[in-house]
Structure 1
Amino acid sequence: MIRLDNISKQNGHQILFIEASAVLNKGEKVGLVGPNGAGKTTLFRMITGRELPDEGQVAVDRGVTIGYFSQDVGEMAGRSSVAEVMDGAGPVSIVAAELKELETAMADPERADEMEAIIERYGEVQHRFQELDGYALEGRAREVLAGLSFSQEMMDGDVGKLSGGWKMRVALARILLMRPDVMLLDEPSNHLDLESLIWLEAFLKDYDGALLMTSHDREFMNRIVNKIIEIDGGTLTTYSGDYAFYEKQRALAEQQQQAQFERQQAMLAKEIKFIERFKARASHAAQVQSRVKKLDKIERVEPPRRRQTVAFDFPPAPRSGDDVVILKDVHKGYGNRSIYSGLDFSVRRKERWCVMGINGAGKSTLLKLVAGATEPDDGSVTVGSSVKMGYFAQHAMDLLDGERTVFEELEYAFPQAGQGSLRTLAGCFGFSGDDVEKKCRVLSGGEKARLVMALMLFDPPNFLVLDEPTNHLDMATKEMLIAALAQYEGTMLFVSHDRHFLAALSNRVLEVTPEGVHTYGGGYTEYVDRTGYEAPGLRS
């Protein structure tokens, strides 16, 4: 369906592709992977014709429809979410628009002399609309939006009043409703809660078209894709299998290449030693010349390219008391809506609670109550002795000073720290070289999240309260964070939609439901085994 033939592409001084080739066949579900800045979004743009390769060609079979979801959703305002989604449904939305125009024309007395032609055309268009299942379009649009956690009120309200994250979901819903021959999805799992993520997983599994997508959620990727295309060092390499298979194969290929490289280096060293030893002896001149020629002809094996991954080690946090936080008979509501009524809940030292609950159940509210970011209407929240809390909230990223550079922000927070240790800290969280000189106002969402995380973890608290800490983080940073938190000696209370993060770090589950809260001993994996669902109310 889509072929990339020997494409080369350069952006400024950065070479993205060098004679790279890959194929997307009918019905394939492919994960596109590679480090940040490798050219994933550029590849999408070349497939859609928004950018052209410098050399080579991108060939799309005739008549193939492509739906492209990107992080740049553009302006939306002035109509309902449902109308916005229906407008992007491909051919059927164009037919629907003409049908509406013809209905207006039929009601216009000034066009009476054209009425016969208008009615004839209306019949043709109506027949085409029925063929495209147009009358079911609104129902299908509402079904997709409901799957992405929209309430009826949000579906019918002005799309312009939604936050950026919800507008992303509207843009995604447009592509899903369109059901094109090929879907290109650039980070569709961003901004989704766990329920929406699991719904989208099921939708994409049932979708019979071809799919090419990027995602920072390894579990999501694993369950959908059956092929991986990796961008690395300007080349495209294809692996048959899911993301876990790709990781194993890539590691194996790296080991084999390293072994080949080392064998060749040993052989070269031996040959060079012989040449050096006997080059001055006339009796060995022929042998020396023969070996020099042989060395010139040998194709050199390159060592495997090492991805830059830096481990973050927690300095030891001070020990807290055994009672970290106690909530007693807590009541909390917003307006007429009660979120908690008589909540009793306590966190003990070294417990790692993940908080589960449907959208709007009160997960973030619980974290705010614990962190002191909001007060209970009644009851008490008591933080234990010697507790030093670190709170990561979504709005924390807005508190960065836009005019400071990354390094200045770190220096401002830790004036006593040495430059070397701050540079190491910045490197752990993906800011290397000139990146530390970027002003905070130009940072991407992922970069801001990483900087806030660095600020919070450098002088480690003994109680971490984390609200969606993995939003915006790429897979490599997530893995680093999970590895660091696995070694962390303190206590945790967190909300996350990333199942890999939940399974790796929780040892307790608090489920928030309309009927009250339920607690489970054991972590997220045990919770799924015991309840039979991955998120409240959703069967796995």
Structure 2
Amino acid sequence: MIRIDNISKQNGHQILFIEASAALHRGEKVGLVGPNGAGKTTLFRMITGQEEPDEGQVSTDRGISIGYFSQDVGEMAGRSAVAEVMDGAGPVSAVAGELKELEAAMGDPDRADEMDELIERYGEVQARYEELGGYALESRAREVLAGLSFSQDMMDGDVGNLSGGWKMRVALARILLMKPDAMLLDEPSNHLDLESLIWLEQFLKDFDGMLMMTSHDREFMNRIVSKIVEIDGGELNTYSGDYEFYEQQRAMNERQQQAQFERQQSMLAKELKFIERFKARASHAAQVQSRVKKLEKIDRVEPPRRRQTVLFDFPAAPRSGEDVVSLKGVAKRYGSRSIYEGLDFQVRRRERWCVMGVNGAGKSTLLKLVTGTTEPDEGRVTMGGSVKLGYFAQHAMELIDGEHTVFQSLEHAFPQAGQGSLRALAGCFGFSGDDVEKKCRVLSGGEKARLVMARMLYDPPNFLVLDEPTNHLDLLTKEMLIKALADYEGTMLFVSHDRHFLAALSNRVLELTPEGIHQYGGGYTEYVASTGHEAPGLHG
């Protein structure tokens, strides 16, 4: 269906692919993995023909339709979200356009003499529209948008008024509605809440075309894909199985290759020792010669390429009192909309609360109330003794000084810290080599999030409040953060749509529902087991 044959590709000085090959077949669900900057997006662009390989070729079967969702959404404005989504439905939207033109033509008195041809053409086009499911298209478009958490008002409102994250969802909905033969999805799980994520997961499981996707959400990827294509040092390696199987297989291959490399090195050392010892003796000349020839012919085993794994031991946070924060009789309203009435909630030392709730339930509002970023209309919020607060919110990224480099930003926050220590910190959060000299104003959303996180965790607070901390983080950084936070001694209150993050770090769940607020004594895993669903509003 799609074949990648011996491709090589270079971007500036960076070599992305060297004689790389892979094949993608009809009906396969493939996860594309590799470190940041390995060339995942470039590979997608080569498959869609937006870029050419320097050598080799990428070929697709004749006549197959490809839908490509990328993070680069482009301009959207002037029509409703529903119309925007329907416009992406491929041939059917062109047919719908022709139907509209024919209807106008049939009502135009100046074209009365063409009426027979117009009516005949209208019949053909109408039949084609029906065959393509055109009449069901609008209801399908609304169904997809509802799955991605759009309200009716948002569906019918001007798409130009939506935020960047919601425009991403419109772009994703276009591809899903199109139902192409092959779907290429670059980070479709970014910007989605948990409910939308679970809906999308089911949609993609039921999709019968070929799917290739990247995702920083391992749980999401694990549940959908049955084949992994890995970009590793310019090569494409294919593994049959889900993401978990790939991780195990890769680790096993590395161990085997390491063992082979060590065996060969030991054998080579023995041979070289023999040659060195006897090369001056005429009596051993023939043996020495034959061993030299043997060594020249040996295929050398390479040691496994080491993945750059980032690990950082965060300093211990100072101990807080037993009562970290307490909310008594708290009410919060926005205009006529009441978010909380008479809320009582208490966080104690070493509890790790994850806050669950559908869009608009008040998750971020709760975090703002706890951190004092917003005041309650009634009731009070009391912070306990010796509490040192760290708050990660999406707006924190706007507060970085754009003129500072990454390194200056860290230096400014920690003037007492040594250069080596700050470079190690930067490296953990994905800023290696020249990246630390980048000006903050040119950083991507993901890089800004990593920088804010690095600044917060270097001098750790004993109460961490995190609003979607993993939104922009790649798999390696996310793993590092989970490992670091698993050993963290302090207290946590967080909102996240990443189920791996939720399961690994929570030991309490606060669920916000229209019927009221529920507290669960166990973590996310126990919450799923006791409620039978993975997110509020979804019943499994």
TM-score (norm 2): 0.99
Partner of 2:291: 291
* Residues 455-494 of structure 1: pairs in structure 2 closer than 5 A: 455-494=455-494
TM-superposed deviation, 1:156: 0.3
Contact 2:310–2:477 (Cα < 8 Å) also in 1: no
CA distance in structure 1 between the aligned counterparts of 2:258 and 2:444, rounded to whole angstroms = 35
Task: Give the whole-Å Cα distance in 2 for the aligned partners of 1:333 and 1:111.
Answer: 60
Q: Which structure 2 residues correspond to residues 87-166 of structure 1 after superposition, within 5 A?
A: 87-166=87-166
C-alpha distance in 2, partners of 1:28/1:246? 16
Shift of 1:537: 2.1
Q: Where does the alignment leave 5 or more consecutive residues of structure 2 unmatched? A: none
Taking the TM superposition and a 5 Å limit, the aligned residue runs for 1:7-406 are 7-406=7-406
Deviation for aligned residue 1:309? 1.0
Cα distance, 1:276 vs structure 2 = 1.2
Paired amino acid for 1:461: P
Paired residues of 2:317 and 2:489 also in contact (CA < 8 A): yes
| AA in 2 matched with 1:198 | I
**Partners of 1:271 and 1:334 in 2: CA distance:** 80
Find the residue that maps to 1:89 and give its secondary structure.
coil
Q: Secondary structure at the match of 2:502?
A: helix
Q: Distance in 1 between matches of 2:210 and 2:85?
A: 21
SS at 2:53 equivalent: coil
- 1:160-207 deviation line (CA, Å, top 9, x unaligned): 010000000000000000001000000000000000000000000111
**2: CA distance, partners of 1:159 / 1:340:** 30
* Corresponding position of 2:501: 501
Amino acid at match of 2:403: E
Q: CA deviation at 1:415?
A: 1.2
Shift of 1:369: 0.5
Paired amino acid for 1:268: L
Query: Which residue is 1:529 aligned to?
Result: 529
Cα deviation code 1:470-513 (max 9, x no counterpart): 00100000000000000000000000000000000000000011
Question: How far did residue 107 of structure 1 move?
Answer: 2.2
Write the distance in 2 (CA, Å) between the matches of 1:24 and 1:455: 42
Q: Secondary structure at the match of 1:342?
A: strand
SS in 2 for 1:535: coil
Secondary structure of the 1:339 match is strand
For residue 408 of structure 2, give the secondary structure of its aligned residue in structure 1: helix
Q: Map 1:402-481 onto structure 2 (within 5 A).
A: 402-481=402-481
CA deviation string 1:256-297 (max 9, x = no partner): 000000001111111111111111112211111111111111
Q: Aligned equivalents of 1:221 and 1:424: distance in 2?
A: 30
CA contact (8 A) 2:314 2:484 kept: yes
Compute the displacement of 1:54 (Å): 1.0
For the pair 1:538 / 2:533, whether they are aligned, the reply is no
Distance 1:233 1:224 in 2: 26
Whole-angstrom distance in 1 between the partners of 2:471 and 2:58: 33
Q: Alpha-carbon deviations, 1:214-249, whole Å to 9, x = none?
A: 001000001000100001011111100100000000
Rounded to whole Å, the distance in 2 between the matches of 1:14 and 1:539 is: 48
| SS class of match (2:76) | coil
Could you say what the CA RMSD is over the residues aligned between the two structures, in angstroms?
Answer: 0.8
Which residue type is aligned with residue 295 of structure 1?
A: L
- CA separation in 1, counterparts of 2:206 and 2:104? 38
For 1:185, the aligned partner's letter is L
Q: CA deviation at 1:108?
A: 2.2
Q: Percent identity?
A: 84
Q: How far apart in 1 are the matches of 2:281 and 2:310?
A: 50
Tell me the secondary structure at the aligned position of residue 149 of structure 1.
Answer: coil
How many Å separate the matches in 2 of 1:410 and 1:111?
Answer: 72
Which residue identity does 1:22 align to in structure 2?
Answer: A
Shift of 1:437: 0.4
Matched to 2:14, the amino acid is Q
Q: Distance in 2 between matches of 1:350 and 1:453?
A: 20
1:516 CA drift (Å) = 1.9
Aligned partner of 1:241: which letter?
G
TM-score, normalisation: structure 1: 0.99
Q: Matched residues in 1 for 2:383 and 2:115: separation? A: 76
- CA–CA separation in structure 2 for the residues paired with 1:264 and 1:470: 43
Shift of 1:358: 0.6
Look up the SS of the partner of 1:26 in the other structure. coil
**Shift of the alpha carbon at 1:113?**
2.7
- Distance across 2 between alignment mates of 1:388 and 1:517: 27
Q: Distance in 1 between matches of 2:22 and 2:472?
A: 28
What is the number of equivalent residue pairs in this alignment?
540
Return the alpha-carbon distance in structure 2 between the equivalents of residues 335 and 121 of structure 1. Answer: 54
Q: Is the 8 A contact 2:310 2:476 kept in 1?
A: no
Query: Do the aligned residues in 1 keep the contact of 2:147 with 2:196 (CA within 8 Å)?
Result: yes
CA distance in 2, matches of 1:69, 1:537: 27
After superposition, the C-alpha distances for 1:119-152 in whole angstroms (9 at most, x for unaligned) are 2211111111111110111000000000000000
Q: Which moved more, 1:348-357 or 1:123-132?
A: 123-132
How far apart in 1 are the matches of 2:156 and 2:377? Answer: 32
- 1-side partners of 2:381 and 2:94: how far apart? 56
SS in 1 for 2:314: coil
Q: How far apart, CA to CA, are the structure 2 residues paired with 1:423 and 1:147?
A: 43
Once the two structures are superposed, residues 410-436 of structure 1 have per-residue CA deviations (whole angstroms, 9 ceiling, x without a partner) of: 011111111111111101111111010
- CA distance in 2 between counterparts of 1:107 and 1:376 reads 60
Separation in structure 2 between the aligned mates of residue 510 and residue 414 of structure 1, nearest angstrom: 35
Q: Distance in 1 between matches of 2:210 and 2:474?
A: 24
